């Protein structure tokens, strides 16, 4: 339908956004149900339904009428509020990117990913990379092609990076990772040469009922309103937000690892606080979403590591830990707990890595992804390359692919270019902290009293409330000045020097 | 699009069914999530999404192309398999009924129900029927009008009854309820004149962890495959099935009432067994659903009352009960437990009523619904009429509307004509049992050993597998001969005579 006035076009825009939001909300709830509550054998019927609804979304999003609507609004740019201009730009990006992929390829890729997921799960369980290799090869091919469709002006891997972090590229990342490596690798060596921290008490038996009580307590300390945020259990912890008043986090309780769920809850709680604090004026529009994976991860890791693994915070929560687990923590003091949850050592599995070595795991994946997309590494050669880089960056031998290149679900799920946002998210935090400390001189006194309102207030006003209004790098710069990885390496150096008396 | 051959039309039919199923699957999961897991404050966003998706379903179902498709298939009836003929007939019924309601009225009714739900909840809590009365009045008006749109050939209340039980009418129900009243009322009087059963031990403190273990045990005894059936908790127990391989039941644990969840699980388990055993050949078609509310309720009540409250079954599960709750059941034997869970006495609240008096609660609602739809009773006069009928049928005084005419959610949810299917469902069971006993002479020996395979096998082959292939009365007749309420009253008389030594 041809539009004659901006008001009518804006109304059509809102209706479109409401509709696509409704579908993604429904799919989101189905996915959350699948991961937390659905009976194990129910996947087939759900897969069919989700496939049908996804196809409907695809047609809705690529409808030529959407193109006409965007054309009209773009040609009346000057009559639009800045937030609406940004909204139109975000929808344009999505429209073009989706339309440029031939629908037959889009559908075939969906089928491939569905199979790949099952093949990867089996391959991981059976340490059988060869079974997964042909799928990885195809997934890489599709991603390379899709990158060219979506953003032909960019190098393919840069186009993929842009899916997760608008504006990111390998030039930025190469220098970023080089800086990290230079600072972290010697720090790790120094730590390995000193006396090791004893964290064995973290691995006594911690009954799940107590861990549940701890999770509820932590959510209270974080000031997360349970009226609007659910807590469930799933194999891998995650956060999903349907709107600012309906966010869900999950955790996983391990009987012999009290820190696992504790820090999952703080991490996912950080994601949840972001989702719950996006400006309500953007609700239901393309601007009313978290802006990028990197910024999202910066929020979760800020709470998990910078607050949650800080000495003042641990001193605050430790009495509660002792109250819930008096036997397990008999003879342990708050400082020992603080040291134990910060113990750093090179390890095999990314999701279990400590704050210091985490980025090295990401670097391995970044290097491999670049080469895979460039075509200089074949999927079948990934295990050898993976193991070589783990040796080079982390100094360890990978005993099998299950704990090696088959460990993550990202590639089988089609996500290439996602991993770097984890490292970037970790690196954003310390610079945010510096700005926070400058604006709020008694920040740590409040944290030491378990009062996170200053932290949350700063993040809310500088990050959360803006949703996707600005590009992630711009948002960060407005809050903290130009991003500089040195703040991250300084933070790590200071923290680990103190922890290990280096 | 005009159809030229039956094969193409059938393909279009399947595509339409797949699409509508996908929407109702998604809405079903959202509803289940809302009742079991969603944070309490999340209703507004979900309401918006469910509203949008419901509107899309409405447009999908009332699309003139659906009418053309059905016309074409009806004019090629002779080329269709019997199951497909039935499928077309069911879709035709739905299409005509939905199309005949003007879309403005349909939307306005949705808005009304949404408000009515909240008003009713508040009115129930505050014992304030006057607040709810204008909503009930409007809901009755809409239902009367919709009945005339949908099935102008029938009296309005008969048309409403047909929504829940195809073929049912007030002629059948008047005589059915008269028969019940004649048998049950004197039985209740006799029981009240005898020594009362002591069920106080059911109301000791039963920790929820033990009740959860009991629920899992009961599902095992019922042979419900947990791969395909989830168990969750919600305020009111219910069952929802998305397909035969994804069914969910819920229960509610009351600390001081061990029988509440025990019998909720058996009841909902009976619904689940039905949903899980519909013939897979009908999956995804209009025939692949439970045929009616009455037949559905016959399955749940068969397991709950006829099996679950039988002496042999209780003797089988009692040792497990004692194992889980040794202190609470100290000094109690299986026969005392059997008597306690069958204690009959007139009470105020339908959902807590015993097997004997349950139908009297339904009769009250049936009489009132008839009068409301006929226009001979105004909504504001419901409390007085309700209280008079409770006195007349059950011999008790209703102290307030909260425990009186505001107790059920059906009317505020727009369901008028639904209640009778509960009584009908109860009455179908004993006649099914008679047929089962004739075909399977050692039925009760198996039940006494906790082996329900014969029961489930009979129900599967006579009821479950047929889905909606036959009208409910026809399905019942094929399984058990013409329905005769005498089998129900005979069963009640025999059971309660034995229980109370009348």
Contact B242 A42 (CB under 8 A): yes
pLDDT digits (tens, 9 = 90+) for B74-92: 999 999 999 999 999 999 9
- Partners of B36 on chain A (C-beta within 8 Å) are 37
Contact A18 B230 (CB under 8 A): no
Question: What residues contact B183, with CB distance under 8 A and at least 6 apart?
Answer: B489, B492, B493
Determine the 3-state secondary structure of B361 from DSSP.
helix
- Nearest-CA distance from A97 to chain B in Å? 26
Question: What residues contact A60, with CB distance under 8 A and at least 6 apart?
Answer: A16, A19, A20, A23, A66
- Which residue in chain B has the smallest CA separation from A42? B246
pLDDT digits (tens, 9 = 90+) for B470-481: 999 999 999 999
Whole-angstrom Cα distance, residue A278 to residue A264? 22
- Nearest-CA distance from A227 to chain B in Å? 5
Whole-angstrom Cα distance, residue B192 to residue A261? 56
- Nearest-CA distance from A287 to chain B in Å? 17
**B242: nearest CB among A18, A45, A247:** A45
pTM of this structure: 0.94
pLDDT reported for residue A140: 98
**B229: nearest CB among A39, A226, A229:** A39
pLDDT reported for residue B334: 98
Q: Do residues A249 and A233 make contact, with C-beta atoms less than 8 angstroms apart?
A: no
Q: How far is CA A401 from the centre of its chain?
A: 23
Distances (CA, A) of A47 to A111, A336, B249, B283: 11, 47, 21, 15
- Partners of B32 on chain A (C-beta within 8 Å) are 33
Rg of chain B on CA atoms, in Å? 23
Number of residues assigned to chain A: 502
- Which residue in chain B has the smallest CA separation from A19? B52
Per-residue pLDDT 10s for chain B (502 aa) are 678 899 999 999 999 999 999 999 999 999 999 999 999 999 889 999 999 999 999 999 999 999 999 999 999 999 999 999 999 999 999 999 889 999 889 889 988 998 898 899 999 999 999 999 999 999 999 999 999 999 999 999 999 999 999 999 999 999 999 999 999 999 999 999 999 999 999 999 999 999 999 999 999 999 999 999 999 999 889 999 999 999 999 999 999 999 999 999 999 999 999 999 999 999 999 999 999 999 999 999 999 999 999 999 999 999 999 999 999 999 999 999 999 999 999 999 999 899 999 999 999 999 999 999 999 999 999 999 999 999 999 999 999 999 999 999 999 999 999 999 999 999 999 999 999 999 999 999 999 999 999 999 999 999 999 999 999 999 999 999 999 999 999 999 999 999 999 8
Rg of chain A on CA atoms, in Å? 23
For chain A, say whether B229 makes contact (Cβ under 8 Å): yes
For chain B, say whether A36 makes contact (Cβ under 8 Å): yes
User: A31, A39, A239: best mutation site toward chain B, by most B Cβ within 10 Å?
Assistant: A39
- Nearest-CA distance from A327 to chain B in Å? 23
For chain B, say whether A41 makes contact (Cβ under 8 Å): yes
pLDDT digits (tens, 9 = 90+) for A435-449: 999 999 999 999 999
Among residues B61, B87, B166, B268, which one is catalytic?
B268
pLDDT digits (tens, 9 = 90+) for A470-496: 999 999 999 999 999 999 999 999 999
- Nearest-CA distance from A22 to chain B in Å? 5
| Nearest C-alpha neighbor of B447 from the set B335, B337, B307, B341 | B307
Whole-angstrom Cα distance, residue A406 to residue A464? 34
Taking the CA of residue A491 as centre, how many other CA atoms within 13 Å lie in the half-sphere pointing to its CB? 23
pLDDT reported for residue A447: 98
User: B19, B20, B51, B52: best mutation site toward chain A, by most A Cβ within 10 Å?
Assistant: B52
pLDDT digits (tens, 9 = 90+) for A22-65: 999 999 999 999 999 999 999 889 999 999 999 999 999 999 99
**A45: nearest CB among B32, B230, B246:** B246
Whole-angstrom Cα distance, residue A236 to residue B56? 34
pLDDT reported for residue B110: 87
Contact A33 B32 (CB under 8 A): yes
Among residues A87, A165, A166, A268, which one is catalytic?
A268
Edge-to-edge strand ranges of the sheet holding B239-243? B229-233, B246-251, B239-243
- Partners of A225 on chain B (C-beta within 8 Å) are 41
- Which residue in chain A has the smallest CA separation from B36? A37
Contact A49 B21 (CB under 8 A): yes
Contact B39 A227 (CB under 8 A): yes
Whole-angstrom Cα distance, residue B235 to residue B35? 7
- Partners of A39 on chain B (C-beta within 8 Å) are 226-230, 246-248
What φ, ψ does residue B408 adopt, rounded to 5°? -95, 150
Burial of residue B434 (number of CB atoms within 10 Å: 0-12, 13-18, 19+):
middle
pLDDT reported for residue B28: 96
User: Which pLDDT band, with edges at 50, 70 and 90, does A87 fall under?
Assistant: very high
Contact A242 B45 (CB under 8 A): yes
Q: Tell me: pLDDT of A403 over 70.
A: yes
- Nearest-CA distance from A270 to chain B in Å? 18
Contact B25 A49 (CB under 8 A): yes
| Nearest C-alpha neighbor of B259 from the set B307, B209, B304 | B304
pLDDT digits (tens, 9 = 90+) for A228-266: 999 999 988 999 999 999 999 999 999 999 999 999 999
- Partners of A44 on chain B (C-beta within 8 Å) are 245
What φ, ψ does residue A252 adopt, rounded to 5°? -140, 125
pLDDT reported for residue A1: 61
Contact A53 B22 (CB under 8 A): yes
- Partners of B19 on chain A (C-beta within 8 Å) are 52, 56
Does the model's ipTM exceed the 0.90 cut? yes
pLDDT reported for residue B1: 61
Taking the CA of residue B495 as centre, how many other CA atoms within 13 Å lie in the half-sphere pointing to its CB? 25
Burial of residue A362 (number of CB atoms within 10 Å: 0-12, 13-18, 19+):
buried
- Nearest-CA distance from A267 to chain B in Å? 19
User: B27, B39, B50: best mutation site toward chain A, by most A Cβ within 10 Å?
Assistant: B39
Number of residues assigned to chain B: 502
Question: What residues contact B81, with CB distance under 8 A and at least 6 apart?
Answer: none
**A30: nearest CB among B19, B29, B245:** B29
Question: What residues contact B7, with CB distance under 8 A and at least 6 apart?
Answer: none
- Nearest-CA distance from B48 to chain A in Å? 8
Question: What residues contact B250, with CB distance under 8 A and at least 6 apart?
Answer: B35, B36, B231, B232, B233, B234, B236, B237, B238, B239, B268
User: A35, A36, A49, A230: best mutation site toward chain B, by most B Cβ within 10 Å?
Assistant: A49
Contact A246 B39 (CB under 8 A): yes
Torsion, Cα of A142, A144, A145, A148 (10° steps): 150
pLDDT reported for residue B111: 87
For chain A, say whether B26 makes contact (Cβ under 8 Å): yes
For this structure, is B327 an active site residue?
A: no
- Which residue in chain B has the smallest CA separation from A38? B230
pLDDT digits (tens, 9 = 90+) for A364-394: 999 999 999 999 999 999 999 999 999 999 9
**B46: nearest CB among A23, A246, A248:** A246
| Nearest C-alpha neighbor of B46 from the set B64, B59, B27, B21 | B27
| Nearest C-alpha neighbor of A289 from the set A10, A24, A491, A486 | A24
Q: Do residues A300 and A268 make contact, with C-beta atoms less than 8 angstroms apart?
A: yes
B6-36 vs A43-61: helix crossing angle, rounded to 10: 100
Contact A39 B232 (CB under 8 A): no
Size of interface A-B (CB pairs under 8 A): 116
For chain B, say whether A501 makes contact (Cβ under 8 Å): no
For chain A, say whether B208 makes contact (Cβ under 8 Å): no
For chain B, say whether A60 makes contact (Cβ under 8 Å): no
Whole-angstrom Cα distance, residue A20 to residue A14? 10
User: B14, B27, B29: best mutation site toward chain A, by most A Cβ within 10 Å?
Assistant: B29
Q: Do residues B315 and B334 make contact, with C-beta atoms less than 8 angstroms apart?
A: yes
Bridge-based pairing of strands B239-243 and B246-251 is: antiparallel
Q: Do residues A302 and A270 make contact, with C-beta atoms less than 8 angstroms apart?
A: yes
Question: What residues contact B169, with CB distance under 8 A and at least 6 apart?
Answer: B154, B155, B158, B161, B162
Distances (CA, A) of A38 to A228, B24, B252, B274: 22, 17, 18, 19
Distances (CA, A) of B499 to A322, A453, A492, B311: 55, 64, 76, 10
Whole-angstrom Cα distance, residue B51 to residue B58? 10
- Nearest-CA distance from A70 to chain B in Å? 22
Contact B22 A48 (CB under 8 A): yes
Tell me the percentage of chain A whose pLDDT exceeds 90. Answer: 93
pLDDT digits (tens, 9 = 90+) for A281-291: 999 999 999 99
DSSP state of A254: B
Whole-angstrom Cα distance, residue A404 to residue A386? 7
For chain B, say whether A74 makes contact (Cβ under 8 Å): no
A501 φ/ψ sector (left φ>0, alpha ψ -120 to 50, else beta): left
Q: Do residues B119 and B132 make contact, with C-beta atoms less than 8 angstroms apart?
A: yes
A6-36 vs B6-36: helix crossing angle, rounded to 10: 70
| Nearest C-alpha neighbor of A289 from the set A47, A48, A472, A481 | A472
Determine the 3-state secondary structure of B246 from DSSP.
strand
């Amino acid at each position: 339908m041809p539009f004659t006035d901006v008001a009518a076009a804006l109304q059509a825009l809102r209706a479109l956004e409401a509709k696509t939001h409704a579908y993604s909300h429904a799919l989101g709830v189905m996915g959350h149900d699948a991961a937390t509550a659905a009976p194990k054998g129910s996947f087939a019927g759900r897969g069919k339904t989700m496939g049908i609804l996804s196809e409907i979304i695809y047609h809705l999003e690529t409808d030529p009428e959407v193109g006409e609507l965007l054309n009209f609004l773009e040609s009346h740019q000057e009559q639009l509020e800045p937030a609406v201009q940004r909204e139109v730009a975000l929808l344009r990006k999505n429209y073009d990117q989706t339309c440029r992929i031939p629908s037959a390829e889009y559908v075939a890729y969906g089928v491939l990913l569905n199979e790949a997921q099952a093949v990867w799960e089996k391959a991981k369980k059976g340490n059988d990379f060869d079974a997964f290799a042909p799928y990885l090869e195809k997934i890489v091919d599709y991603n390379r092609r899709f990158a060219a469709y979506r953003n032909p002006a960019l190098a393919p891997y840069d186009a993929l990076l842009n899916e997760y972090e608008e504006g990111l590229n390998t030039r930025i990342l190469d220098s970023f990772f080089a800086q990290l490596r230079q600072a972290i690798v010697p720090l790790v060596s120094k730590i390995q040469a000193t006396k090791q921290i004893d964290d064995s008490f973290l691995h006594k038996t911690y009954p799940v009922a107590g861990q549940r009580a701890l999770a509820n307590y932590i959510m209270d300390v974080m000031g997360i309103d349970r009226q609007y945020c659910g807590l469930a259990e799933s194999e891998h912890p995650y956060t999903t937000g349907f709107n600012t008043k309906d966010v869900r986090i999950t955790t996983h309780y391990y009987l012999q690892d009290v820190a696992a769920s504790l820090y999952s809850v703080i991490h996912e709680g950080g994601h949840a606080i972001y989702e719950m604090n996006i400006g309500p004026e953007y609700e239901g529009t393309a601007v009313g979403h978290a802006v990028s994976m990197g910024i999202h991860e910066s929020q979760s890791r800020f709470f998990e590591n910078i607050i949650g693994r800080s000495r003042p915070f641990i001193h605050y929560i430790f009495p509660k830990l002792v109250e819930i687990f008096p036997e397990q923590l008999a003879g342990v003091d708050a400082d020992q707990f603080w040291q134990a949850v910060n113990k750093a050592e090179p390890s095999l599995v990314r999701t279990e890595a400590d704050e210091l070595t985490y980025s090295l795991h990401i670097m391995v994946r970044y290097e491999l992804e670049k080469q895979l997309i460039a075509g200089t590494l074949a999927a079948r050669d990934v295990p050898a390359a993976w193991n070589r880089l783990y040796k080079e960056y982390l100094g360890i031998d990978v005993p099998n692919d299950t704990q090696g290149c088959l460990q993550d679900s990202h590639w089988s799920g089609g996500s290439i270019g996602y991993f770097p946002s984890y490292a970037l998210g970790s690196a954003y935090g310390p610079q945010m902290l510096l700005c926070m400390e400058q604006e709020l001189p008694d920040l740590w006194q409040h944290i030491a009293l378990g009062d996170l309102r200053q932290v949350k207030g700063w993040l809310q006003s500088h990050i959360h409330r803006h949703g996707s209004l600005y590009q992630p790098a711009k948002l960060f710069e407005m809050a903290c000045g130009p991003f500089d990885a040195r703040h991250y390496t300084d933070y790590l150096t200071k923290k680990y020097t103190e922890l290990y008396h280096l």
